Amino acid sequence: MKAIVYDAPRNFSYRDTDEPRIKPDEALIRVHACGLCGTDLHVHEGEFGPRFPLIPGHEFTGELVEIGSNVSGFKPGQRVVANSNLACGSCFYCLRGDFLLCENLSCYGINHNGGFAEYVKIKADRLFVINRLSPREAVMVEPTACALHGTEVLDAKPGSDVLLFGAGPTGQVLAQLVRLNGAARLVVAAPPGPKLDLAARLGADEVVPMDREDPEVHRRRLQALSPKGFDYVIEATGAPAVCQEALRFVRRRGTLLVYGVYPENASVRFNPFDLFRGEISIKGSFAQIDSFPRAIAYLESGKVKVDEIVTQEIPLPEYQQALDIAWARKGVKTALVPES
């Protein structure tokens, strides 16, 4: 089969590789599409512990073509998505039931071969059948599951005033979920362009363009919108400078949710007195491990809309073009599509 294979950080090629052979507890998927996300850009740089050689891609959807002998409840021809995270089940955190915090957590597309290929094999207990979603929508199930976990971590009280920094693909979903789960008003701040325009259509009550040249412009606008700050501020850009700035917009006894994916060596500085005096909480949200069923329910019901988020589909052989689009922040999200 054809696949994108990394031999080392930044060193990849589109080439022939062996088609996966499944074990009795696995299934083989013919990939219809696989989303490219910020995590893949970190893997490209060798971050997040990838195991090379590696076929990346963890937001895949496709059709079942082969089922392991020990697998029941599935049949060839079904359209599926897959939860890419695997917990070991036996470490300190797993034994406490905190599977997302697993000390040996692994992921298809990072530690095991993923979906930037014609076929991918996966443990059958990671599979979920989809019915109404197009491949373009189905690549958004995994990001929606992550956003759903972030919404749960945020735990916003009904009637809350919420500020979200960032309008990337998961930010778009997170905005809708926050509106559905506690926010009376949602303000989205992001650079001007199609992402912010989409946020205005999908979930935001107010949008504030962020001015990189003169940040005081958007700071004044945010302060005018909520002079005492916001109950909850979500930082979903992955930019350390924005994370550091976000705290100034949290009102007393408010919460800052650190949601964006940051470089491993990033750091920010907070004044501990501000946290102490304002009794401010800071939370982190990392990936997901048990949110797929609810994410699918939101998407198949139409309550969360993702059809406009994937703004370009790129043939798998043109993977470098997809990377260039992502780094240039063009459009909103790219899906890689194997050649038929």
| pLDDT tens for the chain, residues 1 to 340 | 999 999 999 999 999 999 999 999 999 999 999 999 999 999 999 999 999 999 999 999 999 999 999 999 999 999 999 999 999 999 999 999 999 999 999 999 999 999 999 999 999 999 999 999 999 999 999 999 999 999 999 999 999 999 999 999 999 999 999 999 999 999 999 999 999 999 999 989 999 999 888 999 999 999 999 999 999 999 999 999 999 999 999 999 999 999 998 888 899 999 999 999 999 999 999 999 999 999 999 999 999 999 999 999 999 999 999 999 999 988 899 999 998 7
Shared domain for 116 and 187, answered yes or no, is no
Q: What is the pLDDT of residue 263?
A: 83
Q: What is the pLDDT of residue 195?
A: 95
* pTM for the model: 0.96
Shared domain for 88 and 126, answered yes or no, is yes
Shared domain for 277 and 202, answered yes or no, is yes
- Alpha carbon separation from 93 to 33, 76, 85, 198 (Å, rounded): 33, 35, 15, 39
Burial grade of 328 (CB within 10 A; 0-12, 13-18, 19 or more) = exposed
Shared domain for 179 and 47, answered yes or no, is no
Q: Three-state SS for 298?
A: helix
Burial grade of 276 (CB within 10 A; 0-12, 13-18, 19 or more) = exposed
Q: How many structural domains compose the chain?
A: 2
Task: Report yes or no on 112 lying in a domain.
Answer: yes
Task: Report yes or no on 302 lying in a domain.
Answer: no
Give, as one character, the DSSP assignment of residue 133: -
Domain holding 225, by residue range, is: 144-284
Query: Taking all residues of the chain, what is their mean pLDDT, rounded to a whole number?
Result: 96
Which positions ≥6 away from 266 have C-beta within 8 Å?
240
Shared domain for 151 and 276, answered yes or no, is yes
Name the phi and psi angles at 168, rounded to 5.
-70, -175
Phi/psi-derived region of residue 99, left when phi > 0, alpha when psi is between -120 and 50, beta in every other case: alpha
Q: Which two tokens stand for residue 231?
A: 């109950």
Shared domain for 175 and 58, answered yes or no, is no
- DSSP letter string over 196-263? HHHHHHHT-SEEEE--SS-THHHHHHHHHH-TT-EEEEEE-S--HHHHHHHGGGEEEEEEEEE-S---
Shared domain for 149 and 123, answered yes or no, is no
